Structure 1
């Protein structure tokens, strides 16, 4: 947008010359400069700039970070910020992120260079966490505002925020209060200075008053635009996760490389089979290798036809689809024991198209080393020469192939390249089995498996196993051996309490365990009051973190008390209360999740290697990437490539992947997208550095999800 100049030509020319910024020809105001699609993040080591950098990394948005605490850092001057390419002025960064509105010493030449750069190229600035003060367009908090903790507060997106960068939110922005003993959120709530051009986007009630104070807002002054954030956060806190997308969209004008979606998928393992029940007296699971009481008998938990009907009704209500990882032998064995009948399998097969299906091997055996269960914990059996005895290639291959054939005979709509082995076995299991069964890769190749489920708590990154690529899955702390809430709580208590309290003592042996309980939970109320809210927050945190990895539970959790549903309801209902209809949960099947993760890894590698260049000139975005590279971007709705619409609609924008073909990609923005021009710089006021802002311990060091907490690694 062109703006009216308030300085003489002589003054402007002198200023630009002094700063070394490219002035261009006399008609500089009409030139569309080249704006590189890269963000400059200036960090002081604080959690807020780190959080924004983490959001850019997760989305695949390139940025350059300068750490102000390092003596060997580059100097931010005109030459660092801008230059000329092929005779055209170039801005090397499309946005600037600062720790606060001015983190430099008084009279800083670096801040002056940034001011002139932002004015000249209309570059927006994010103040990641700043004190409410007139230099940021806000009154000091002492004048009817507030400074202090806002743990547990309910902030709101304003009308302007919904019409602007936060239109993907439904309105409420709840602030976490995971531990009453720890300060987690600190904020400055204040109103705009009289006459300031300040638009609040997110605000909250000022304690003890009938007025509201800004937490996030846009301040326009001196030919510049700043997004002012007056609360501190880290990358894990829900309030930041909710606002992160809008911060990025605001600073990039909705034109940037990288994309972010909110994903949720749930794999239900052991379908058709039964899961052995936790024994509350023995504190173990009869049927498992570590439950050695000779008198203990397995007590199976298995879904019923009514559980199938409930799952279908639930899916229809939530607009969500389960992925059922099945074991065909479970039905075959059941028919043998029940005169050829299996009402569960009959109902599941009749309703097979209501679910997605994954091969989970025929009989769910352990496919790694041959286990020596004479000792607890088990060890790998060895051959006479001391080498490890492995489950054979033929045994593994038969388990995969037989289950596939059983599923095909029964008409299950399968993706034959997907596989989840029982207990993720065959892959390394520490400490007993420190390497993969070498026969696993061979059997996977025999059966044309391309996607292999793995345990995210053991291996969070993808890797190759023969021709297959792993798909890490988040385990939920809803136990496979619990069909009733009381059983879940009893086992939870045993695992996470001290020996003196009758527990396993795992927390005494490993103080780093984050799920430790100070006292056993009440078996009647502990599940609903503690475990469900905890697991809901953990899973929702993954959803809000642009993490497509699936979660997994077991068929036992859909049976009897159906204990999985309160957690899943908490995730999906909680999500629906936070997001607008234009930002739905993305529910992918396993192969699509694997492909998404694989594309992201390749994209990050290309960015790190410096093989991607992208810039905007007027309404044209050009991306140069190696031939065959899948390029990810978020652009305004209506953007086209070669006349065809780019991307898919999500969160009020178009985003997705498009493949580079050797020549630079050209994307045409819609006419509604504002076109930057080179503006003559106006001298801005040299503001004072922001006062020190408070960072409570619960932000500088992440607060777990409560005094008694869990993580996905458990």
Structure 2
């Protein structure tokens, strides 16, 4: 999308003049202020400021949080906000986030200090959630506006918003309505107050009126700039997730440490193999160690050549690549039983370069403790001395190496340092196996494995397993043992309904389970009407949260009814409807996701230790970080580092990682990225504290993504 420069963006010279400082032409002299790249977040404990803080934390953007309820908090005064470093005036924060336009008591010296600071250094202020009133540049809602629920309302980015900080969106900003019984949003819709210099960036129709009211807009007054947000939200709600990038973009002027992108990767496990089918009569999966009914007969689900053709075509239509985690024994055994024939393997190998491939071990064997399946649930077998009997180092290594050799011989485009074990086995599995198989670390070292897939529902953080680093993967609630929608619904009903309704009772035992059902789903419609929207919202929520962790499904879900595609298409098509072309989904392979997560952890550790210094003087951003640490930043398009282009384009700017070598890094910003100057500070008047704003219960706690959960 072509983006235009806002008319409020001035040159550095204009900024210096506005600040009453000596002009320095293109050079920044000693009186050009230093602006530290850090955000001040002042919270009253409400969900809106917490959401913005969570967005900054996820991106790796440093901030200082102050809790107004903390009696031991620092006082916000001139010394807290600014000082002088090496003879140069320094602003310690590049932006200020407040709970509302004035959260302090009447006549507050702290609010006066903030106002003066913002005037002096042209520091923007975000009012995270405030009442529509003239002090915030808006009419009171009683004058033709609205105060109430926005559940299910379709808001939109205005022309000014698309030309400014929200240009990465296509236009629509839908507000969630996940549960009709819960109030999930509340807003004040209003128009600019008479004479106010107010520009709306996001608006919505005012009920009963022909006009639209602002939800997010910029108010310029008294030498200050405020981003006025008049709807309440939490960090999980889609409407906030859509607008979070723009809020941060506005407050930082597109110059900040940290980066945020929208990631989506999907691993398809058990390729070449077959997955056992859920038995709707027995309520278990014959072939599984826990399905001990004497009438249990395995009924395998396996893809066909037509499913391969469909998968390749679907990828092309969505500009997306699936990661196929394969078990070569599945095709070796198939050929042995069918006089060398395996049409599925032939079809997959003919299209092998259309996919990414991951070693999933040769037979999908369980690689943890030796399982004793004579009891339900299974337990770890033991040696005569009572110690745990483990699958050996040689057995694990053989599973890894044999599968790799088969893949190399077949010409699969593999990365040999990636591995996903069957069921993530070998790593700890509670409650039966509370520690890793000690032989797993040795075997992955023997085979040069650097990246090891793990289950995010068990272990959401990276850790080391010998020389390998884990890559947590999100399990999708599209079951491995379902090839048909009716089977998926039947199993879903059994798991998530009460015992009285014929279910497992898991929700009675664990009320915190978020997918519980009030009543069983209709087998004919439950998948499309309930499960698909729910799983789509959950996965899209991960995409919009700057979370690169991959999701995983199974080959069975691409077979028969191909039940995975409505969810995957829902995520990608829904995303395309919301975002502009310059903000695509980022589709990484497993090792690249591992690198990204590792860099983030190291970067956050450096921030937490106070080892990163970053500031802007004029058109130069300087960053000092420990040697060996990768530095992440988001800058305007055209920014350079050491004379070369920095980063890669995304959402109208550039972002990326660059190694810190111990010496300061100096980023040069393009002339078009000059900081906006404050207006004249004449006529500054104190304002009354903002009135209390309504926060529905559904905003303080995450509302499940679909009604009845």
Q: TM-score of the superposition, structure 1-length normalised?
A: 0.95
Q: 1:73 and 1:265, CA in 2 relative to 1: closer, same or farther beyond 3 A? A: same
Query: Would you say the 8 A contact 2:21–2:32 is kept in 1?
Result: no
| Structure 1 residue 708: Cα displacement | 3.5
SS at match of 1:290: coil
Query: Would you say the 8 A contact 2:638–2:645 is kept in 1?
Result: yes
Query: Would you say the 8 A contact 2:11–2:674 is kept in 1?
Result: no
SS at match of 2:658: strand
| 1:398 lines up with 2:398 in the alignment | yes
| 1:687 lines up with 2:687 in the alignment | yes
Tell me which residue corresponds to 2:635: 635
Tell me which residue corresponds to 1:367: 367
Query: Would you say the 8 A contact 1:262–1:584 is kept in 2?
Result: yes
Q: 1:138 and 1:3, CA in 2 relative to 1: closer, same or farther beyond 3 A? A: farther
Q: What is the CA deviation profile of residues 526-566 of structure 1, one whole-angstrom value per residue up to 9, with x for unaligned ones?
A: 00000000000000000000000000000000000000000
Task: Give the 5 Å matches for 1:229-240.
Answer: 229-240=229-240
Tell me which residue corresponds to 2:6: none
Q: TM-score of the superposition, structure 2-length normalised?
A: 0.96
Query: Would you say the 8 A contact 1:278–1:286 is kept in 2?
Result: yes
Query: Would you say the 8 A contact 2:12–2:619 is kept in 1?
Result: no
Distance across 1 between alignment mates of 2:271 and 2:228: 51
SS at match of 1:414: coil
Tell me which residue corresponds to 2:433: 433
Q: 1:237 and 1:576, CA in 2 relative to 1: closer, same or farther beyond 3 A? A: same
Distance across 1 between alignment mates of 2:363 and 2:133: 66
Query: Would you say the 8 A contact 1:130–1:693 is kept in 2?
Result: yes
Q: What is the CA deviation profile of residues 474-520 of structure 1, one whole-angstrom value per residue up to 9, with x for unaligned ones?
A: 00000000000000000000001111111111111111211111111
Query: Would you say the 8 A contact 1:241–1:544 is kept in 2?
Result: yes
| Structure 1 residue 646: Cα displacement | 0.4
Query: Would you say the 8 A contact 1:29–1:678 is kept in 2?
Result: no
Query: Would you say the 8 A contact 1:33–1:678 is kept in 2?
Result: no
My pick for the range that moved more, 447-456 or 509-518, is: 509-518
Query: Would you say the 8 A contact 1:254–1:636 is kept in 2?
Result: yes
Task: Give the 5 Å matches for 1:436-515.
Answer: 436-515=436-515
Task: Give the 5 Å matches for 1:658-673.
Answer: 658-673=658-673
Listed as ranges, the gaps of 5+ residues in structure 1 are 13-21, 710-714
Distance across 2 between alignment mates of 1:35 and 1:506: 54
| Structure 1 residue 31: Cα displacement | 3.7
SS at match of 1:538: helix
Distance across 2 between alignment mates of 1:578 and 1:671: 31
| Structure 1 residue 263: Cα displacement | 0.1
| Structure 1 residue 706: Cα displacement | 2.1
Query: Would you say the 8 A contact 2:11–2:671 is kept in 1?
Result: no
Distance across 1 between alignment mates of 2:251 and 2:499: 53
SS at match of 1:523: coil
The ranges of structure 1 where at least 4 consecutive aligned residues each deviate by more than 3 angstroms after the TM superposition are 1-5, 22-31, 675-683
Q: What is the CA deviation profile of residues 149-203 of structure 1, one whole-angstrom value per residue up to 9, with x for unaligned ones?
A: 0000000000000000000000000000011000000000000012211000000
Listed as ranges, the gaps of 5+ residues in structure 2 are 1-9
Tell me which residue corresponds to 2:612: 612
| Structure 1 residue 294: Cα displacement | 2.1
SS at match of 1:240: helix
| 1:539 lines up with 2:536 in the alignment | no
Distance across 2 between alignment mates of 1:171 and 1:704: 25
Tell me which residue corresponds to 2:349: 349
My pick for the range that moved more, 271-280 or 25-34, is: 25-34
Tell me which residue corresponds to 2:206: 206
Query: Would you say the 8 A contact 1:47–1:234 is kept in 2?
Result: yes
Distance across 1 between alignment mates of 2:554 and 2:221: 57
| Structure 1 residue 455: Cα displacement | 0.2
Query: Would you say the 8 A contact 1:29–1:677 is kept in 2?
Result: no
Distance across 2 between alignment mates of 1:673 and 1:261: 21
Distance across 2 between alignment mates of 1:684 and 1:631: 40
Tell me which residue corresponds to 1:551: 551
Q: 1:3 and 1:475, CA in 2 relative to 1: closer, same or farther beyond 3 A? A: closer
Query: Would you say the 8 A contact 1:120–1:680 is kept in 2?
Result: no
| Structure 1 residue 209: Cα displacement | 1.1
Query: Would you say the 8 A contact 1:482–1:556 is kept in 2?
Result: yes
| Structure 1 residue 4: Cα displacement | 13
Query: Would you say the 8 A contact 2:13–2:23 is kept in 1?
Result: no
Tell me which residue corresponds to 1:223: 223
| 1:143 lines up with 2:149 in the alignment | no
Tell me which residue corresponds to 1:42: 42
Distance across 2 between alignment mates of 1:182 and 1:509: 24
SS at match of 2:673: coil
Query: Would you say the 8 A contact 2:222–2:681 is kept in 1?
Result: no
Q: 1:335 and 1:502, CA in 2 relative to 1: closer, same or farther beyond 3 A? A: same
Task: Give the 5 Å matches for 1:91-490.
Answer: 91-490=91-490
SS at match of 1:415: coil
Distance across 1 between alignment mates of 2:245 and 2:536: 21
Query: Would you say the 8 A contact 1:30–1:677 is kept in 2?
Result: no
Query: Would you say the 8 A contact 2:222–2:679 is kept in 1?
Result: no
| Structure 1 residue 679: Cα displacement | 9.1
SS at match of 1:42: strand
My pick for the range that moved more, 377-386 or 504-513, is: 504-513
